Amino acid sequence: MRQECGVAGEVPAVTNQTGVFKKIVERTARAWTDIQAARPYWDFMRSQNGPTSLVIGQREYTLTAAPFSLTNLSKFDPKAAFIYETSTADETKLDWITYDAFRVYYRTYPDGRPTRIYQGLNGVIGFDFTPDKTYKVTLDYWKTATILAANTDVPSLPEQYHDVIVWKSVMMFAGSESATELYNYAKSMYTPLYHELLVDQGALPGSVNSYAFAFGQTYTTRPGF
């Protein structure tokens, strides 16, 4: 980024910088967080939790505490939640329902194998049945944005797209310096590469998710809306 902006000298570290070097570091870090925030469902931000063992007799769990310990959760993938007892040979899908649906339709929670899951208030997830065994649960999710703050930090973006960060940060730098020619050049480099990233790693816009309710009802949402 420094080189493309025509700034002389090497940036010795990303910490404790001043002046133009500080601006270079800050623009690069901001470019990365902006790219992550640009789409709600980047493939490079997907992750998986589990298989996690449920606790017999415990129906609700705080996400950031054991056994799930999810400290980087942005949102769950409603199409990818699974449960099994002893092996994946008996694995079945857990249906996500909204917390509102859970509140309306569920008043008792018999012991048994959970079939539905919901995300409740204050960072809690819960199930329709109170586990009677140590069932194993696997949940797919999207991570929260990471921040480039240390010299050794590496973005989770696939390496072939790292220049997207470079060119976006150059655009931000050029904009703040009223360097129109540099801005236009950086944009011409950024735009086609960003489009490649969208095709490769961006979820299709307008995809429909249907959440199963009790009694055969469904609730439909569109990602990003």
Report pLDDT digits (tens) over 145-176: 999 999 999 999 999 999 999 999 999 999 98
Q: Is 110 found in the same domain as 58?
A: yes
58 located within any domain: yes
Identify the pLDDT of residue 177. 86
225 located within any domain: no
Q: Is 92 found in the same domain as 59?
A: yes
Q: How many domains does the chain have?
A: 2
Q: Is 60 found in the same domain as 171?
A: no
Taking the CA atoms of 194, 199, 203 and 208 in sequence, report the sign of the dihedral they define. Answer: positive
104 located within any domain: yes
Backbone angles phi, psi at 204, to 5 degrees: -65, 130
Nearest to 30, CA basis, from 152, 166, 196, 159: 166
The single-letter DSSP state of residue 14 is S
- The position carrying tokens 């080189």 is 3
| Host domain of residue 187 | 19-41+145-201
What is the Cα–Cα distance from 126 to 135, expressed in whole angstroms? 14
Q: What is the mean pLDDT of the chain?
A: 88
178 located within any domain: yes
Q: Is 151 found in the same domain as 194?
A: yes
Q: Is 30 found in the same domain as 86?
A: no
Indicate the pTM of the whole model. 0.79
2 located within any domain: no
Region 114-137 average pLDDT: 95
